[in-house]
A and B are shown apart, each in its own frame.
Chain A
Amino acid sequence: MAKLKQWRPNKRNSHMSTNLKVKVWRGGEQGSFASYDVPRQGSQTVLDVVTYIQRHLDPSLSYRFACRVGMCGSCAMTVNGVARWTCRTHVAKVAADGRLEIAPLSNLLVIKDLTTDMSEFFDKWARAKGQFNGKQTRHDDFARVDPNSRERIAANAGIECIGCGVCYASCDVVSWRADYLGPAALNRAWTLVNDVRDTQRAERLRAVAGDAGCHACHTQGSCSEHCPKQIEPTAGIAGLKYLAAKAAIWGEL
């Protein structure tokens, strides 16, 4: 990966009042970029820039955020062509030349400006059988899962996903075939397939196998490259392919 140029104060930009040239997508599916000048601040995040525009330049700008600390996953946008959490992206890291282009996430319908319709994204989690289904009740004892077991380690690797959609927006296969479940839903399925308490393993494998499921993945790893949580959906998807092959051989698919 190319090393990103860090923003450092120098003669030209040492005054924090230097303006950033910011282009922001305005409109819905059809629309265009509007330009704004935003004062440069120390430790400024891309979300700060968007917020500044809405508070000081154009109150009609729509965007989403909640936590501002990388917990909720609602602030993801396309920043200079790359899907990112805007709250955890410092301007210094992405706008070495003082220019920013902020667009809504790719592969999702645009509602307005920087807000996208995430329903298809989450419907795919449901289609990939992303719900846990156990057999124990509150009257049973706790399930004991060995933290060092292969399954637990595999599930751990994917469990911290916060559903931000960055991986989904970075996946070419999603843009080529709209029915592809995508990296996040498949990562979710992979964590559940490795949950030894879950009872729907066979059904889930059936739901995620096939050319709209794990088999469509090219294993190029764009999702893993961009996931801000360093999750590797690519590895989970490869695991699903392997389990699906085993299930097909034993007639369980």
Chain B
Amino acid sequence: MTSAVTQARLWYWQRISAMVLALCVLIHLAIMIYAVRGGLSAAEILGRTRGSLSFGAFYSVFVLACALHVPIGLATVADEWMGWRGPKVAVAAGFFGIAIVFMGLRAVYGVVAA
């Protein structure tokens, strides 16, 4: 795959994930504002999230969009600021994405299923 094709694909994945993230952030804020009316305790949160499929699905999408969006942006920053190019930056960004998936989904699992 040439750099032109890779960059063109990364560009639209970056765009698509950004749109998903924009939507997720809005919903997330709305849920937060709704949920904290009159104070909020850990037990209350867990009471709502435990076993909630829709909650789990929503935040899984959120995590996956982050895992796509963040490494693409970081790869560009690494290229411009540190001159990392080619496989080196791809591997580093890939690991970062995997770390986000792992930590994010673990957190979702923690509040939904554990």
- A residues near B (Cβ < 8 Å) are 173, 176-177, 205-206, 209-213, 215, 241, 244-245, 247-249, 253
Contacts and interface: CB of A to CB of B under 8 A. Distances in A.
Contact of A215 (B2, B7, B80, B81): B7
A253 B11 contact: no
A245 B3 contact: no
B8 interface: yes
Interface residues of B, number: 16
B79 A215 contact: no
Specify the main secondary structure of chain B where it touches its partner.
helix
Contacts of A211: 3, 7, 76, 79
Contacts of B43: none
Contacts of A177: 79-80
Contacts of A247: 8
Given A206-B4, A209-B4, A210-B4, A245 B80 contact: no
Contact of A245 (B2, B6, B8, B79): B8
B9 interface: yes
A205 B4 CA distance: 9
Contacts of B79: 177, 211
A245 B6 CA distance: 10
Interface string B1-23: 01111111111100100000000
B4 A245 contact: no
Contacts of A215: 7-8, 10-11
B80 A253 contact: no
